[in-house]
Amino acid sequence: MSYFDAASSAPLHPVARQALLASLDEGWADPARLYREGRRARMLLDAAREAAAEEVGCRPDELTFTSSGTRAVHTGMAGALAGRRRVGRHLIVSAVEHSSVLHSAEEWEAAGGEVTAVAVDRAGAVAVGVYEAAVRPDTALACLQSANHEVGTEQPVAEVAEVCRAAGVPLLVDAAQSLGWAAVAGPWSLLAASAHKWGGPSGVGLLAVRKGVRFAVQGPVDERESGRAAGFENLPAIVAAAASLRAVRAEAAQEAERLRELTERIRARVPQLVTDVEVVGDPVRRLPGVVTFSCLYVDGETLLHELDRAGFSVSSGSSCTSSTLTPSHVLKAMGVLSEGNVRVSLPVGTPAEEVDRFLSVLPGAVATVREKLGAPVPVTVREKDALVVNALGKRCPIPVIELAKVIGDVQVGATVRVLSDDEAARLDIPAWCEMRGQEYMGEEPAEKGTAYLIRRLS
């Protein structure tokens, strides 16, 4: 079985395993106690903090260990917003942030705050000028991920951090996907990360808060971790997290070059091997091991099952999955195709032979799924000068399949009207038009669902 979902959680690094086992014997005592076992535990904790801080690029006393990356984000955002409540209640996020950031933003808005979501381009990146325009005198905090977890696009964090510094606004960076590859550049103010993303154990997050940042801890406070993470430290996991971060960073440059070659091979070969595919994300400014593509006329969940049976573990941002009926917020914000979406994220050490095997298996898997979905016959009627496709009650990707079947039945310049009550159609029909060179004319209310208008151009 080939595990190609490292962006969700990387396999435990050998150094992490060794450090975890060793510290189980040495680091079980309370590091706050003054007796010998406590002093030994404190030495391990201090050494782990110094090692992690060096890789993050901050002072050890600016770094807090939390119970997860999500907890680090929530704590960082809540503390920074509370610390600057006299400045204002305006929060800036990008439209493609991790759900942990967006959930905090939703809670802030529900409590009376104001949130601006900065749009991204079709590659998934924010424009520095657009981000700068969102900054206001009452902005309390800005957030921007270092790299996207679904499509791999790297954000212009250093440039945005300079903009925020000039405006006196702290910038929180979610560095979960990138910290294992490199320190985050620029004058950021707060940084959050998660150990299981770089091969450390789960249940360990990092929160760095620069000196001088106004920060007010929310909730009950105790004496541990500068009051920012209550409860007894999971010292063996913390030691393993710091040790593995140092280990992966030592080999990052060489491994990044190798993985980039493999993902470039996937990006180039997939459109050659499979028809009607859109490879998404920035082709240059991207994480080394992540590549994402979407396949027209494919049910994402079924495709994942086909690839699983072939021995590949991948993930998807498609709306056609058992866990959601709406498209990924990332793909939606980018305006790209969501149906049949596949994210391949290669872990450190992935053999080139396994990538080649994946490329040999993929065309057959897609063809199998498309064949299964080829049975539905579009229900069409003529309505004045438009052909109407009734796809009500049918889920992704059936509405797009039925559109594709009838577009050739109308004259160039004529219109097809697709009726759909599937939220994914709002994203996938315009994306289909973009890929196929047809004109998407917009949507209008219908008696049931929504009517999507498409003009045939070729």
Alpha helical stretches, state H, 57-178: 69-83, 99-110, 128-134, 157-167
CA distance 417 to 455: 9
The set of catalytic residues is: 320
**Cis previous bond, 187, omega within 30:** no
Extended beta strands in 149-299, E state: 171-174, 190-194, 205-209, 277-280, 290-295
User: Do residues 334 and 410 lie in contact, with contact meaning Cβ atoms separated by under 8 Å?
Assistant: no
CA distance 138 to 417: 45
Listing DSSP states for 386-447 in one string gives EEEEE-TT--TTHHHHHHHHHGGGS-TT-EEEEEE--TTHHHHHHHHHHHHT-EEEEEEE-S
CA distance 81 to 156: 23
CA distance 443 to 430: 10
Per the rule left: phi > 0, alpha: psi between -120 and 50, beta: everything else, 391 is alpha
Alpha helical stretches, state H, 155-194: 157-167
The backbone torsions φ and ψ at residue 170, rounded to the nearest 5 degrees and listed phi first, read -70, 145
